[in-house]
C-alpha cells in the first residue's frame, strides 16, 4: 500500500472514529441519566424530543454558550493545557482499537482500526499513564483547595490502580503470546480468556472502574466533600473536555475488556455474505455496550468507597492477587 | 520521511532540555523533561526499539515524572532565588559549557564519521527482550529486583511520618514560631503540660522513684 | 538515512544540558530533574548503538538504567521530602549542615 493511500485511509478512518465517538459519548450520557433514573424509580430526561432523545444536543448548546470563567490566581498556561491533555490522552488509545476483521476497499485491504501496531497493549498503558497529567495539572493550576485535593486523590488513585490493571493484562498476554490486539483476539477463537483468566478479568474490571474515576471509586470528584474535584474551577467548554475525556476513557476500557477477555469480534456468524461481514462488528459492539451498561449499573447500585479503603484495596488486595494470577498462569503454561 | 522525523523529534528534545535549564519554576522544569522523554520515545521508535519506547513513556513519563510533579506540588516548590555567584563564574561558565558540548560533539562526529554502519530494518521485538532478560541477563534482573525492593523500603521509611511529628507541620520559607503550650502560672492542682504538650496531672502522686523503692 | 553520529551528538547535547542544569540550578528538585535528563541522554546512545550494531544488549541496558532510575527517584524524593520537613527549604545553599 503506497504511503499516500495509507495516509488517506488513516485520515478517513480517524474522522469516522471521532464522529462516532463524539455522538456515542453524548448518548452514553443520556443512557446513563435514563438508566440511573430508572434504578432510582424516576423517569429521567424526557422533555427534549421524543423520549428525551435530543437532550444531548441541548446539553451541548448549554455548555457551549456558558460563560468561560478562569480563576484570577490560576497558573494560566497549565490551566489551559490541562483539559487538552486529558482529551488527547483519552482519544489516542482509540486509534489502535480494532473493531473487526480486515475489510477490502477500492482494491486495498485495510484493518478495521485506524492503525495496527505490534505493541498495542503497551501503547494503551503508556497513553493512559500520561492521562494522569491532565488531572494533576488541572487541580494544581486552578489554585483551589478542592481542586488540589481532588487532583491528589485522582493522581494517586490512577497510579495505584494502573499497576493492578497492567498486571491483570499480563495473564491473557502470556496465553496469547503477543501484545498485538488483533493477535490476542485471534488467539481466542477457541475459548474466550474470560474463562481461564476469570480472576484477571475481575481485577481488570475493578481497576478499570478506578482508572476512569467512576463510581464506586469516584473519590476525585466526590461531590459531597470536594465540590467537583479537580474540575471544580472549570466551566463551559473546558469542563466539557474533562467530561468528554472521562466518557471516552470508559469506552476505551470497555473495548479493551472486550478484546482481551470476551473474544473481541468472535461470535455466532451465519446467514448471507453481507450479514457475515457485519456480524463480527455487531458482536464487538454488543460486548462493549454490555461493559458500558455495567459502568452505569454499578454507579446506580454501589456507594462510594472511603479513601483509605480504596488505597488499601488496591495495594493490599488487587496487586497481590494479580501477581498470584501471573504466577499461576505461568506455571500452567510451563507445565503444559 | 525518516530524516524529517529525526530532526523534528531531535529538535523537540533539545528545546525541551533548554527549557528545563532556563525555567525558574521547578514544575515547568519537570514538564519540560516530560516533553524531552516523549521526543526520545519517538526517537526510540525510529530506532526500532518498540519496547524501550513504551517503557520510556510508562515508567519515566508516567511514573517517575508524575512522582516528581506530585512532590513539587505537595512541597509547593517556589522558584529558587537567583544564586549569588561571582561575575567571573557567570562570564566564564556559559562559554565553557558551549566549548564542552562542541568538543564532545566534535569528537563523537570525528570518531564515528567513518564507521560504516547501516541503519537497516532492525526492529527489536518484545519477545526478544524477554528472551534476553530471562536467559542471558537473569542474574542482573534478579539483582535489580532486590535493589528495587530496597528502594521501596527506603522510600517508605524516609517519607513516613514519625510519631512525634504532627501532620500539617510543613512550612516553606520561615517557619512560624512554635506555640508555647506551657502555661506560665501552673498553680498547684491545676493541669500542667509536659514537653510534648500533653496534660500532666499534678494532684496525683508521681511514680515512686528508684531511690524510694530501694529504701 | 541518519548516520549514527547524529544520534550520538544529540545524546551528548542532552547529557551536557543535564550537567549544566545540575551545576546551575539552586533547588534540590531541579537538580534531581537534571540528573534524570543526563540518564536520558545516555539511554539514547545505548539504543542508537543497539540499533546500528544490530545487537539487543543496548535495549536491555536501557531497561536496567530505567529500573535503577525509578528506584533512585523514589528514594531521592523521599529524602527531599524529609529534608524539607526538617529544614523548611529547598535551596541547596541553605541545606549545608549535617545537623541543625
CATH of residue C43: 1.10.287.3510
Mean pLDDT of C59-73: 91
**Nearest-by-CA chain B residue for C41:** B40
Per-residue pLDDT reduced to its tens digit, A91-122: 999 888 888 777 777 777 777 788 888 888 89
pTM of the model: 0.83
Which candidate in A85, A127, A132, A141 is best for mutational testing of the B interface (most B CBs within 10 A)?
A132
Highest mean pLDDT among A4-13, A161-170, A231-240, B196-205: A161-170
Partner chains of C (3+ C-beta pairs under 8 Å): B
Residue A130: closest CA among chain B residues belongs to which residue?
A: B62
Q: Is the pLDDT of residue C43 over 70?
A: yes
Going by C-alpha positions, the residue among C13, C39, C48, C57 that lies closest to residue B115 is C48
Which three-class secondary structure state does DSSP give residue A16?
Answer: helix
Cis peptide before A216 (omega within 30 of 0): yes
For residue C16, being part of any structural domain is answered with yes
Q: What pLDDT does B189 receive?
A: 47
A191–chain B Cβ distance below 8 A for any pair: no
Q: Is the pLDDT of residue A88 over 80?
A: yes
Helices (H), chain A: 3-39, 55-65, 76-91, 120-141, 145-176, 181-186, 198-211, 223-226, 236-261, 273-301, 307-312, 319-335
User: What mean pLDDT is predicted for residues A139-150?
Assistant: 84
- With contacts defined as CB-CB under 8 Å, which chain A residues touch B30? none
Segments of chain B with pLDDT less than 50: 166-173, 184-190, 208-213, 215
Query: Is the residue at B193 inside a domain?
Result: no
Q: For A129, which of B50, B57, B125 is closest by C-beta distance?
A: B57
Rounded CA separation C48/B49 (Å): 9
Burial B43-69 (b: 16+ CB within 10 A, else e): bbbbbbbbbbbbbbbbbbbbbbbbbbb
Q: Is residue C99 in a domain?
A: no
Could you list the residue range(s) of the whole structural domain that residue B137 is in? 125-162
Q: How far apart are CA A264 and CA A288, in angstroms?
A: 9
Cell of B195: 514537653
What is the predicted ipTM? 0.91
B30: chain C residues, CB-CB within 8 Å: 29, 33
pLDDT at A253 over 50: yes
Residue B133 belongs to a domain: yes
More confident position, A153 or B16:
B16
A181-226 pLDDT per residue, tens: 888 888 888 888 888 889 999 999 999 998 888 878 887 776 767 7
How far is the C-alpha of A129 from the C-alpha of B92, rounded, in Å? 42
Interface residues of B toward A, Cβ cutoff 8 Å, are: 1, 27, 31, 34, 50-51, 54-55, 57-58, 61-63, 66, 69-70, 73-74, 125-127
CB-CB contact of A153 with A229 (8 Å)? yes
Identify whether C92 is part of a domain. Answer: no
- A108 in any annotated domain: yes
* A308-A310-A315 Cα angle (round to 5): 95
Q: Does B209 map to a domain? A: no
Range of the domain at A227: 64-335
Asked, for residue B148, whether it belongs to a domain, the answer is: yes
Residue B101 phi, psi (nearest 5): -60, -45
Taking alpha carbons only, the member of B67, B32, B76 closest to residue C90 is B76
Structural domain includes residue B172 = no
Q: Give the CA dihedral C70, C72, C77, C79, nearest 10 degrees.
A: 150
Please indicate whether, in this complex, the C-beta atoms of B112 and C16 are within 8 angstroms of each other: no
Q: What is the pLDDT of residue C65?
A: 92
Please tell me which residue, A50 or B35, carries the higher pLDDT value: B35
Please give the pLDDT value at position B215.
47
Q: What is the pLDDT of residue B114?
A: 64
C34 near B CB under 8 A: yes
The answer to whether position C33 is within a domain reads yes
- On whether residue A320 sits in a domain, the answer given is yes
Report if residue A77 sits inside a domain. yes
pLDDT reading at C40 higher than 50:
yes
Q: What is the CATH number of the domain that holds B72?
A: 1.20.120.1200
Chains C and B touch (3+ CB pairs under 8 A): yes
Residue A54 lies in a domain: no
For the packed helices C28-52 and B26-46, what is the interaxial angle rounded to 10 degrees?
Answer: 0
Nearest CA in chain B to C79: B158
Comparing alpha-carbon positions, the chain B residue that sits nearest to A177 is B127
Task: Give the mean model confidence (pLDDT) for residues C51-75.
Answer: 90
CA distance B198 to chain A (A): 28
Domain boundary among B80, B102, B133: B80
In chain A, the number of structural domains is: 1
Q: Which helix H or strand E contains A110, and what residues bound it?
A: strand A108-110
Residue from the list A126, A140, A156 with its beta carbon closest to the beta carbon of B57: A126
Residue A226 within any structural domain of the chain: yes
CA gap B6, A275 in Å, rounded? 46
What total of structural domains would you count in chain B?
2
Q: Of all residues in chain A, what percent carry a pLDDT higher than 90?
A: 18
- Residue A319: per-residue pLDDT: 92
The answer on pLDDT for A248 being more than 60 is yes
Query: Which of the residues C19, C29, C32, C65 would you substitute to probe the B interface, choosing the one with the greatest number of B C-beta atoms within 10 Å?
Result: C29
Asked, for residue C41, whether it belongs to a domain, the answer is yes
> Is B205 among the domain residues?
no
Cβ separation B66–A152 shorter than 8 A: no
C93 in any annotated domain: no
Interface residue B81 vs chain C (CB under 8 A)? yes
d(CA B207, CA A176): 71
Interface check for C94 against chain B (CB to CB < 8 A): the answer is: no
Same domain, B76 and B1: yes
Q: Average pLDDT over chain A, rounded to whole?
A: 86
Residues B66 and B3 in one domain: yes
Domain that holds residue C21: 4-87
**Residue A78 C-beta-side C-alpha neighbours within 13 Å:** 22
The DSSP output letter for A142 is T
A122 in any annotated domain: yes
Amino acid at each position: 500500500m503506497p504511503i499516500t493511500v495509507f495516509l488517506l485511509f488513516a485520515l478517513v478512518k480517524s474522522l469516522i472514529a471521532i464522529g462516532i465517538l463524539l455522538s456515542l459519548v453524548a448518548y452514553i450520557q443520556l443512557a446513563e441519566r435514563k438508566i440511573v433514573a430508572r434504578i432510582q424509580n424516576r423517569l429521567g430526561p424526557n422533555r427534549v424530543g421524543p423520549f428525551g432523545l435530543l437532550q444531548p444536543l441541548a446539553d451541548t448548546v448549554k455548555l457551549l454558550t456558558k460563560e468561560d470563567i478562569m480563576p484570577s490566581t490560576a497558573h494560566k498556561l497549565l490551566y489551559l493545557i490541562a483539559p487538552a491533555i486529558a482529551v488527547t490522552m483519552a482519544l489516542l488509545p482509540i486509534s489502535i482499537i480494532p473493531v473487526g476483521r480486515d475489510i477490502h476497499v477500492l482494491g486495498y485491504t485495510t484493518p478495521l482500526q485506524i492503525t495496527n501496531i505490534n505493541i498495542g497493549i503497551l501503547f494503551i498503558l503508556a497513553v493512559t499513564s500520561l492521562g494522569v497529567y491532565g488531572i494533576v495539572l488541572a487541580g494544581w493550576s486552578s489554585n483551589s483547595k478542592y481542586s488540589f485535593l481532588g487532583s491528589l486523590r485522582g493522581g494517586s488513585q490512577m497510579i495505584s490502580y494502573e499497576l493492578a490493571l497492567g498486571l491483570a493484562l499480563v495473564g491473557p498476554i502470556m496465553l496469547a503470546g503477543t501484545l498485538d490486539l488483533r493477535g490476542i483476539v485471534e488467539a481466542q477463537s477457541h475459548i474466550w480468556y474470560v474463562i481461564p483468566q476469570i480472576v484477571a478479568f475481575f481485577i481488570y474490571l475493578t481497576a478499570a472502574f478506578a482508572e476512569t474515576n467512576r463510581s464506586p471509586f469516584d473519590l476525585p470528584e466526590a461531590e459531597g466533600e470536594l465540590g467537583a474535584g479537580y474540575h471544580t474551577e472549570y466551566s463551559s467548554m473546558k469542563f466539557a473536555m474533562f467530561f468528554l475525556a472521562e466518557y471516552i476513557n470508559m469506552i476505551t476500557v470497555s473495548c479493551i475488556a472486550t478484546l482481551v477477555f470476551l473474544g473481541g469480534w468472535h461470535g455466532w456468524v451465519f446467514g448471507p455474505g453481507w450479514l457475515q461481514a457485519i456480524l463480527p462488528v455487531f458482536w464487538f459492539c454488543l460486548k462493549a455496550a454490555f461493559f458500558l451498561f455495567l459502568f452505569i449499573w454499578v454507579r446506580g447500585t454501589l456507594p462510594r468507597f472511603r479513601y483509605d479503603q480504596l488505597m488499601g484495596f488496591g495495594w493490599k488486595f488487587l496487586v497481590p492477587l494479580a501477581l498470584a494470577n501471573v504466577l499461576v498462569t505461568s506455571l500452567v503454561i510451563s507445565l503444559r | 520521511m525518516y530524516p524529517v522525523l529525526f530532526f523534528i523529534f531531535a529538535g523537540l528534545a533539545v528545546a525541551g532540555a533548554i527549557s528545563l535549564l532556563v525555567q525558574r519554576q521547578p514544575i515547568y522544569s519537570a514538564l519540560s523533561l516530560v516533553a524531552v522523554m516523549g521526543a526520545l520515545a519517538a526517537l526510540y521508535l525510529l530506532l526500532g526499539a518498540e519496547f524501550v519506547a513504551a517503557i520510556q513513556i510508562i515508567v519515566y513519563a508516567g511514573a517517575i515524572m508524575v512522582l516528581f510533579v506530585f512532590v513539587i506540588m505537595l512541597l509547593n516548590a517556589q522558584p529558587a532565588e537567583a544564586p549569588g555567584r561571582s561575575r567571573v563564574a557567570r562570564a566564564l561558565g556559559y562559554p565553557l559549557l558551549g566549548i564542552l558540548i562542541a568538543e564532545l560533539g566534535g569528537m563523537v562526529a570525528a570518531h564515528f564519521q567513518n564507521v560504516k554502519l547501516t541503519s537497516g530494518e532492525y526492529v527489536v521485538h518484545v519477545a526478544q527482550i524477554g528472551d534476553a532478560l530471562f536467559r542471558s541477563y537473569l542474574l542482573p534482573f534478579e539483582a535489580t529486583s532486590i535493589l528495587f525492593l530496597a528502594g521501596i523500603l527506603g522510600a517508605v521509611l524516609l517519607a513516613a511520618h514519625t510519631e512525634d511529628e504532627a501532620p500539617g507541620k510543613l512550612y516553606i520559607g520561615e517557619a512560624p514560631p512554635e506555640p508555647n503550650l506551657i502555661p506560665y502560672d501552673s498553680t498547684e492542682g491545676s493541669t500542667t503540660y509536659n514537653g510534648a504538650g500533653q496534660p500532666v496531672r499534678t494532684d496525683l502522686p508521681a511514680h515512686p522513684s528508684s531511690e524510694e523503692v530501694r529504701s | 538515512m541518519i548516520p549514527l553520529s547524529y544520534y550520538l551528538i544529540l545524546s551528548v547535547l542532552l547529557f551536557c544540558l543535564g550537567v549544566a542544569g545540575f551545576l546551575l540550578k539552586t533547588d534540590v528538585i531541579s537538580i534531581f530533574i537534571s540528573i534524570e535528563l543526563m540518564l536520558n541522554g545516555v539511554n539514547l546512545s545505548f539504543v542508537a548503538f543497539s540499533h546500528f550494531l544490530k545487537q539487543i544488549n543496548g535495549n536491555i541496558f536501557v531497561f536496567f538504567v530505567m529500573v535503577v532510575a525509578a528506584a533512585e527517584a523514589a528514594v531521592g524524593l523521599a529524602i527531599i521530602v524529609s529534608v524539607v520537613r526538617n529544614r523548611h527549604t529547598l535551596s541547596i545553599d541553605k541545606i549545608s549542615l549535617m545537623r541543625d
